[in-house]
Amino acid sequence: MTMIPGWYYDELQQIGVDFEDAAQVQSYDRKQTSNTPEVNQALIQRLGISKGHTVIEIGTGTATFAIEAAVAGAYVYAVDVSDAMLSYARHKASAANAENIEFYRAGFLTYEHQGEPVDYIVTKFAFHHLPDFWKMVGLLRMQSMLKPGGVLYLRDVVFSFKPNEYCSSIDAWINRVAKPAGEGFTKADFEMHVREENSTFAWILESMLTRSGFEIIEKDYPTTEYAEYICQKR
Ligand SMILES: C[S@@+](CC[C@H](N)C(=O)[O-])C[C@H]1O[C@@H](n2cnc3c(N)ncnc32)[C@H](O)[C@@H]1O
């Protein structure tokens, strides 16, 4: 986009958890216990990412996935709106000798991919930062950055409980997953997620994926608050 219109969403603003806060960044890997190198290695293998592939990761955070993809031989464009996250991620990548990663401060709505269309786009626990209208814009933009047949992997907090059971479902979820302070994401963190971030319903996201030019190849709702999609550009 050459000129950003006045009505365009400002995705650099932090909503919910402030990922420009150094304390949040420093403690992130400790709190996000399911995002280990091993879990990311398994995902990379499952998606078939290997030497010679190009991968964009949007909302890279501390770059755990990006580093493992680079170590597996892919060329990785790691994108995030947070300067604090990017600076932490750069140090982590350099300590891991993961050289084939380029970091960019941008997001779903502003990253302009300069190279050839890529084989894969991966985004985990970041897409919910956008309101639904802007999720659609983000999907259209990601679709345009992929090669024909390219793969989008999307994982996030997505709701598939019955809409009229929202109250008991959200309460039960938070009670199940919240940890004591210092051991992970707390009740207050999850409450803020629901109150201020933009997690949406599965049927909305599925419809957006299809309407933005993807075929959903695999979808999984491990519980009614999380979703994973493997999609292919049509
Ligand atoms: C919960 S963290 C997830 C990090 C990592 N993907 C993971 O799975 O651990 C969310 C990340 O998304 C980034 N983010 C928020 N809004 C974004 C946007 N519009 N575009 C790209 N990244 C965004 C935040 O700065 C943060 O680093």
Report, as an integer, the average pLDDT of 164-183.
Answer: 96
Position in ligand 1 atom list of the atom nearest CA 11: 19
Q: For 18, which DSSP code?
A: -
Express each pLDDT in 60-97 by its tens digit.
999 999 999 999 999 999 999 999 999 999 999 999 99
In this prediction, residue 153 has a pLDDT band, given cuts at 50, 70 and 90, of very high
In the prediction, which pLDDT does 3 show? 86
Q: Give the DSSP H or E segment for 103.
A: strand 101-105
Please, what are the domains in the chain? 22-158+198-233 (3.40.50.150)
What are the pocket residues of ligand 1 if the criterion is a CB atom closer than 6 Å to any ligand atom? 11, 19, 32, 35, 58-61, 80-82, 85, 107-108, 124-126, 129-130
Alpha-carbon span 182 to 231, nearest angstrom? 36
- What phi, psi does 103 have (nearest 5°)? -105, 140
Tell me the residue type at 101.
Answer: I
pTM metric for this prediction = 0.97
pLDDT in tens, 36-56: 999 999 999 999 999 999 999
Share of the chain above pLDDT 70, in %: 99
Which of 28, 31, 82 most suits a substitution to test ligand 1, by most atoms within 8 Å of the C-beta?
82
Find out whether 217 and 233 touch, Cβ atoms under 8 Å: no
Residue bearing the CA closest to ligand 1, atom 25? 82
Residue nearest to atom 8 of ligand 1 (CA): 124
Residue indicated by tokens 């947070």: 82
Q: Which atom of ligand 1 is nearest to the CA of 155?
A: 8
| 3-state percent helix, strand, coil for the chain, nearest multiple of 5 | 40, 20, 40
Alpha helices in the chain (DSSP H): 22-31, 37-47, 64-71, 83-95, 132-145, 166-177, 187-196, 202-211
CB 178 within 8 A of CB 191: no
Q: What are the φ and ψ backbone dihedral angles of 92, each rounded to 5 degrees?
A: -65, -40
Above 90 in pLDDT, residue 34?
no
Mean model confidence pLDDT for the chain: 97
Across the range 149-155, mean pLDDT stands at 98
Residue from 68, 113, 129, 155 to probe ligand 1 pocket by mutation (most atoms less than 8 Å from CB):
129
**What integer pLDDT is reported at residue 33 of this predicted model?**
85
